[in-house]
Amino acid sequence: GIQVEQSPPDLILQEGANSTLRCNFSDSVNNLQWFHQNPWGQLINLFYIPSGTKQNGRLSATTVATERYSLLYISSSQTTDSGVYFCAVERTGAGNQFYFGTGTSLTVIP
């Protein structure tokens, strides 16, 4: 399979601070998505970003496929941003099979 590493594993921020989450992967991919898992377990789609840069409000993401990494930026963090962030990739030619990273657990304190 494909190895997906996320860093840092844990992050504690003061409300209003900015952060960068990183996802490294070991093979070429044709799909990369960032998810936020809410306290009830549902994975909320943040970005579909196999390459390039996207922004959605306070969140943005960049994937450099040739260097096999992706970054998720959270600006002006809020307590509601707390939770676990996952990066998931699909290896090129492997069909709809996600390989997930181990996640970054983010806690935003007021």
Partner 1 sequence: KAGVTQTPRYLIKTRGQQVTLSCSPISGHRSVSWYQQTPGQGLQFLFEYFSETQRNKGNFPGRFSGRQFSNSRSEMNVSTLELGDSALYLCASSSDEGYEQYFGPGTRLTVT
- Kindly list the residues in this chain that would bind partner 1 in the complex (CB under 8 A): 31, 33, 35, 40-43, 45, 48, 86, 88, 94-100, 102-103
Nearer to partner 1, 13 or 47 (CB): 47
Nearer to partner 1, 38 or 76 (CB): 38
Nearest approach, Cβ of 84 to partner 1 (angstroms)?
10
Q: How many helices (H) and strands (E) does the chain have?
A: 0, 11
Nearer to partner 1, 13 or 29 (CB): 29
Inter-residue long-range contacts of 45-53, CB under 8 Å, 24+ positions, other chains counted: 46/72, 46/85, 47/72
Contact status, residue 87 vs residue 100, Cβ threshold 8 Å: yes
